[in-house]
């Protein structure tokens, strides 16, 4: 293999390693934001907010690597799918990271009158969203399209829980108008968790395209 091709394959491998690091960082942000929400751990929530810049910086590096490879190497077939998929996954991961930050900000600013533990479906949503991201992470690392498909099935439960939490919170607000300022942030958390699951589904669709060259709409 020529030095030129060796460098090309090394750059592809470095791109995949960076993408896996990004998945790990975002997974940690989601896990920490969920822990902070469950335990009302303000310091952990602030840690998520502080660490978001690492996610943004790494995603920017990945974008630059992808653009350089597309412009200079003119990749074909499987390599092209890897680069395009990595670009798309990076967008979804950065948005998931932003949602983890938004959840953490709710914790930082909450007055804790409507406690999340009294709404059993929010912790369950958080648990599923965290598990979905972990499975998508494994599917990406192992090029496992079947696992990616399996992961998206959890989105149906997340959507059902989202509706239940929304109805419960609106009922609380309707019966206790004085709690509107405390319950409204949990409506946002509810939506953020539902959106995290949606972005994971997008990631799974991208993984399937990367592995099988098939475009499937699973969300």
The pLDDT tens digits for 150-207 are 999 999 999 999 999 999 999 988 988 888 888 888 899 999 999 999 999 999 999 9
**How far apart, in whole angstroms, are the C-alpha atoms of residue 219 and residue 188?**
21
- Domain ranges in the chain? 3-212
Q: What is the pTM of this model?
A: 0.92
3-212: CATH superfamily: Phosphate transport system protein phou homolog 2; domain 2 (1.20.58.220)
In three state form, how does the secondary structure of 56-113 look? HHHHHHHHHHHHHHHHHHCCCHHHHHHHHHHHHHHHHHHHHHHHHHHHHHHHHHCCCC
pLDDT in tens, 120-156: 888 899 899 999 999 999 999 999 999 999 999 999 9
The better pLDDT of the pair 101, 186 is held by: 101
Q: Report pLDDT for 116.
A: 64
HSE on the CB side for 103, CA within 13 Å? 35
The pLDDT value recorded for residue 48 is 98
d(CA 182, CA 146): 41
């Amino acid at each position: 293999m020529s030095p030129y091709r060796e460098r090309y394959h090394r750059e592809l491998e470095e791109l995949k390693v960076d993408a896996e690091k990004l998945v790990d960082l975002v997974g940690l942000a989601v896990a920490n934001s969920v822990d902070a929400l469950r335990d009302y751990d303000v310091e952990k929530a602030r840690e998520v907010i502080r660490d978001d810049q690492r996610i943004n910086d790494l995603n920017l590096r990945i974008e630059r690597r992808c653009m350089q490879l597309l412009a200079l190497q003119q990749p074909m077939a499987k390599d092209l799918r890897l680069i395009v998929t990595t670009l798309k996954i990076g967008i979804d991961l950065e948005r998931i990271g932003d949602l983890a930050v938004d959840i953490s900000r709710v914790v930082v600013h909450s007055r804790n009158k409507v406690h999340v533990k009294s709404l059993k479906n929010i912790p369950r949503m958080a648990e599923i969203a965290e598990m979905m991201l972990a499975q998508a992470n494994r599917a990406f690392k192992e090029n496992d399209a079947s696992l990616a498909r399996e992961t998206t099935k959890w989105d149906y439960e997340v959507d059902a829980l989202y509706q239940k939490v929304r109805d419960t919170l609106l009922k609380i607000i309707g019966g206790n108008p004085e709690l509107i300022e405390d319950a409204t942030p949990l409506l946002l958390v509810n939506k953020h968790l539902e959106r995290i699951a949606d972005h994971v589904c997008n990631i799974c669709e991208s993984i399937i395209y990367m592995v099988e060259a098939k475009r499937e709409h699973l969300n």
